[in-house]
């Protein structure tokens, strides 16, 4: 339907008055004709793979229409450069006959710099240009990424799809990007899996493997569920018979609709006890639960959430997963529920509820006012788990950013990376069941030679000038701290530019904190400059594991009972470490550093 509207708009204005005559073309292969009122049309006779589009992030949104043989075949919004070029993005036009193509653009003044810069090319240079690109966390080669989507395992490959804008490193034009890995650490980038269509852009969702062909697309089909984000949000499906390399959208989409405005992020899984597929999705301030026998027809079973947990923001990206309770034979269901804003340190965060699920209804076992956070940092959002993982592994992945500043973090070529994949389990403490997260074991394969520091005592301060030589900003620190009589145990990572991050165990207030207020570049707004805190128990010994990767620090308590994930943008890697004690002494009984590299 959308395509029809676009077609008629174009017929009325642009296409009708077009005559091809070279005007101010700079790339000699392109002919650009300005039509007044910010409208322009570009044509060429030269066959090349890409049209390279110059982007200025602060420019307003222009509309781009790719027209082939008089039909709109693709359209997106794009911040074409007005004053200066921040970077280029490629539009792959190799599928089309250039002689039948035109590029119609709206809302860009004739004086804009983009007209001089736009060009055809057979190459698009994806070589990394970013100081802050992580080395062992997943990030897109270029463009914007938010939520991880559709994670599923099949035939030896972990698939990761993700919310992707290929036309700028800021949110918009949502597609599903795609990558695969054999070990959850080394990723191979694949072409975009799902692109916007007449029903809308492609918001978050999940994948399942339909082993028994319940949907009729074929046994073992990989089936994706996503939100079609048009004027309203509806749920759609697509299937792949070639291990995710290509998807075909189901011709009777959408498969689920509602009058609720925020109605999105379907997560589907097989519920063996009832022999049905279950879908959980966010609907306003609650999570709706649906069931199906064929993945195409869905029946509402119940809703969860009213009066439960934190409601400081929109509920998004739910997941429902059964986890073992450590040290017992028990398993319990966990409803993961991301919300933004309303997190413990402001903005986006992941909460969860522990309880029972019978295939119809989820019952929270805690009092409704109890709030449980999966990660206490500012940069852990849109967390969901892998489907069909081998050995029944329960592996979660989060987007490592926060909606309050995600669009303005200091990178250009790409924006955002994911957390390290984390294995989940439950444990019981003071009568409540909580979720622990530990980095997947595969991370250890990245370790270089261990640098073991001698044990030392901290009475006031202790300095380690150099963590290890050749520090490129990707490393891991494991330490054990034994308290003697300190009231506060403080560790600091710092560099020669004066950037520092402070980690503290305050034994009087029973709080662990990370202070990134002086961590480097913190001035890009959105409340980035912050101290994040988590409750801890007063103990004689703490184990802490830090995963550092260029622009992120994930702090794991020894067995994952608390995690705190925070971005940092230091001018150079932190290669020094200080220890401070307040009000007494403590001992660092082990300190091991590993360079982490691929
Ligand atoms: C969460 C979210 C989802 C939505 C997607 C859009 O970060 O808002 O609810 O599907 O991002 O990109």
Q: What is the value of pTM for the model shown? A: 0.94
Task: Give the pocket of ligand 1 (CB within 6 Å).
Answer: 146-147, 163, 174, 203-204, 227, 264-265, 316-317, 382
List b or e across 152-164, with b for residues whose CB sees 16 or more CB atoms inside 10 angstroms.
bbbeeebbbbbbb
The number of the ligand 1 atom at minimal distance from the alpha carbon of 147 is: 7
- The number of the ligand 1 atom at minimal distance from the alpha carbon of 338 is 1
pLDDT of 78 strictly over 50: yes
What integer pLDDT is reported at residue 474 of this predicted model?
A: 98
Nearest-CA residue for atom 8 of ligand 1: 316
How many angstroms is it from 502 CA to the middle of ligand 1? Answer: 32
Per-residue pLDDT band for 94 (boundaries 50, 70, 90) equals very high
Could you tell me the distance, in angstroms and rounded to a whole number, from the CA of residue 173 to the centre of ligand 1? 12
Of 174, 265, 284, 313, the one to substitute when testing ligand 1's pocket (max ligand atoms within 8 A of C-beta) is 265
What ligand 1 atom has the least distance to the C-alpha of 399?
Answer: 7
Q: Please compute the mean of the pLDDT values over residues 567-572 and round it to a whole number.
A: 98
Q: What are phi and psi of 256, to 5 degrees?
A: -150, 130
Q: How far is the CA of 168 from the centre of ligand 1 (A)?
A: 17
- Say how far apart CA 559 and CA 228 lie, in whole Å: 39
Average pLDDT, integer, range 506-534: 97
Residues 462-474 pLDDT 10s:
999 999 999 999 9
Does residue 103 sit in helix, strand or coil? strand
- Given a cut of 70, whether residue 346 has pLDDT beyond it is yes
Catalytic one of 83, 92, 125, 147: 147
Residues 6+ apart with CB under 8 A from 391: none
Q: Cβ(545)–Cβ(431) under 8 Å?
A: no
Ligand 1 atom closest to 205 (CA): 10
Pocket-testing residue among 203, 314, 339, 343, ligand 1, by greatest number of atoms within 8 A of Cβ: 203
**Measuring CA to CA, how many Å separate 330 from each of 121, 310, 438, 588?**
59, 27, 20, 36
Order of all β-strands in the sheet with 221-229: 201-210, 221-229, 233-240, 248-249
As a whole number, the mean pLDDT across the chain is 95
CA 66–ligand 1 middle distance (angstroms): 26
The answer to whether residues 158 and 439 touch, using CB atoms and an 8 Å cutoff, is: no
Residue 248 has pLDDT above 70, yes or no: yes
pLDDT at 19: 35
- Residue of 262, 340, 382, 403 with the most ligand 1 atoms within 8 Å of its CB, for mutation: 382
Tokens 């439960």, residue located: 308
Q: How far apart are CA 15 and CA 35, in angstroms?
A: 10
pLDDT at 5 over 70: no
Of 146, 200, 398, the residue with max ligand 1 atoms within 8 A of its CB, to mutate for a pocket test, comes to 146
pLDDT tens-place string over residues 11-44: 333 333 333 333 444 788 999 999 999 999 999 9
Mean predicted confidence (pLDDT) in 259-283: 98
The SS3 of residue 45 is coil
- Look up 147 and say whether it is catalytic: yes
| CA of residue 350 to ligand 1 center, whole Å | 13
Integer angstrom CA distances of residue 236 from 201, 240, 292, 441, 503: 11, 14, 14, 35, 45
Distance from Cα 316 to the centre of ligand 1, integer Å = 7
What confidence tens digit (pLDDT) does each residue in 419-447 have? 999 999 999 999 999 999 999 999 999 99
Identify the DSSP state of 366.
S
H helix intervals, 306-460: none
Q: What is the pLDDT of residue 8?
A: 36
| 414-415 vs 143-154, strand pairing mode | parallel
Query: 535 near 372, Cβ under 8 Å?
Result: no
pLDDT of 408 higher than 70: yes
Give the nearest ligand 1 atom to 282 CA: 9
CA of 284 to the centre of ligand 1 (A): 13
For the chain, the farthest-separated pair of C-alpha atoms sits apart, in whole angstroms, at 83
- What per-residue confidence (pLDDT) applies to 598? 60
Name the β-bridge partners of 501: 493
pLDDT in tens, 43-61: 999 999 999 999 999 999 9
From the centroid of its chain, how far is CA 413?
16
Residue 26: its pLDDT value, please?
73
Structure tokens at 566: 């925070």
CB 357 within 8 A of CB 320: yes
Ligand 1 atom having least distance to the Cα of 229 = 10
Is the link from the previous residue into 414 a cis peptide, with omega within 30 of 0? no
Which pLDDT score, from 0 to 100, does residue 28 have?
85
Q: Using CA positions, which residue lies closest to atom 6 of ligand 1?
A: 203
Calpha distance 348→566 (Å, rounded): 12
Torsion angle defined by CA atoms of residues 457, 459, 465 and 466, in that order, rounded to the nearest 10 degrees: 30
Question: Given this model, what pLDDT does residue 27 score?
Answer: 80
Alpha-carbon distance of 286 to 274, in angstroms, equals 23
Query: pLDDT above 90 covers what percent of the chain?
Result: 95
Q: What percent of the chain has pLDDT over 70?
A: 96
CA 515 to chain centre: 23
């Amino acid at each position: 339907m959308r395509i029809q509207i676009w077609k008629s708009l174009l017929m009325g204005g642009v296409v009708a008055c077009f005559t091809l005559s070279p005007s101010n073309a700079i790339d000699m292969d392109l002919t650009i004709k300005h039509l007044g009122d910010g409208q322009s049309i570009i044509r060429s006779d030269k066959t090349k793979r890409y049209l390279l589009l110059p982007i200025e992030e602060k420019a307003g949104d222009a509309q781009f229409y790719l027209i082939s043989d008089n039909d709109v075949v693709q359209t997106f919004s794009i911040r074409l450069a007005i004053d200066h070029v921040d970077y280029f993005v490629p539009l792959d036009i190799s599928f089309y006959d250039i002689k039948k193509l035109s590029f119609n653009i709206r809302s860009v003044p004739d004086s804009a710099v983009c007209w001089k810069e736009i060009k055809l090319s057979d190459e698009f240079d994806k070589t990394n240009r970013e100081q802050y690109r992580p080395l062992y966390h997943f990030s897109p080669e270029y463009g914007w990424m938010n939520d991880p989507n559709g994670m599923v395992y099949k035939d030896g490959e972990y698939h990761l799809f993700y919310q992707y804008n290929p036309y700028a490193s800021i949110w918009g034009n949502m597609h599903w990007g795609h990558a695969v890995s054999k070990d959850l650490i080394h990723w191979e980038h694949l072409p975009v899996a799902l692109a916007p269509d007449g029903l809308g852009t492609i918001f978050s969702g999940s994948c399942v493997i339909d082993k028994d062909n319940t949907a009729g697309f074929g046994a073992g089909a990989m089936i994706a569920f996503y939100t079609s984000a048009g004027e309203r949000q509806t749920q759609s499906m697509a299937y792949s018979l070639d291990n995710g390399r290509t998807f075909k959208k189901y011709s009777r989409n959408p498969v689920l609709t509602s009058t609720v405005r925020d109605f999105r992020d379907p997560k589907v899984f097989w519920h063996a006890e009832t022999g049905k597929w279950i879908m959980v999705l966010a609907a306003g301030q609650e999570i709706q639960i649906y069931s199906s026998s064929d993945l195409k027809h869905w029946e509402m079973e119940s809703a969860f959430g009213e009066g439960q947990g934190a409601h400081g923001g929109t509920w998004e990206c739910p997941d429902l997963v059964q986890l073992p309770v450590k040290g017992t034979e028990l398993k319990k269901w966990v409803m993961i529920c991301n919300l933004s804003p309303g997190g413990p340190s402001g903005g986006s965060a992941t909460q969860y509820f522990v309880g029972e699920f019978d295939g119809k209804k989820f019952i929270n076992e805690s009092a409704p006012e109890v709030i449980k956070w999966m990660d206490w940092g500012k940069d852990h959002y849109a967390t969901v788990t892998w489907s069909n993982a081998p050995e029944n592994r329960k592996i979660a992945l989060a987007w490592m950013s926060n909606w309050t500043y995600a669009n303005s973090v200091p990178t250009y070529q790409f924006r955002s990376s994911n957390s390290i994949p984390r294995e989940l389990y439950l444990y019981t403490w003071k009568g409540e069941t909580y979720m622990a997260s530990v980095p997947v074991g595969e991370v250890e394969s990245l370790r270089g030679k261990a640098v073991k520091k001698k044990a030392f005592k901290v009475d006031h301060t202790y300095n380690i000038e150099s963590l290890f030589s050749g520090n490129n900003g990707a490393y891991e620190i494991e330490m054990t701290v034994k308290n003697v009589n300190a009231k506060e145990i403080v560790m600091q990572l710092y560099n020669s530019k004066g950037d520092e991050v402070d980690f503290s165990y305050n034994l009087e207030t029973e709080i662990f904190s990370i202070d990134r207020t002086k961590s480097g570049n913190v001035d890009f707004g959105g409340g980035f400059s912050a101290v994040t805190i988590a409750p801890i128990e007063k103990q004689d010994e703490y184990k802490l594991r830090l995963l550092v990767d260029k622009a992120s620090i994930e702090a794991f308590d020894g067995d994952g009972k608390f995690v705190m994930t925070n971005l940092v943008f230091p001018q150079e890697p932190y290669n020094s470490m200080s220890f401070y004690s307040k009000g007494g002494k403590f001992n660092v009984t082990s300190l091991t550093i590993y360079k982490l590299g691929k």
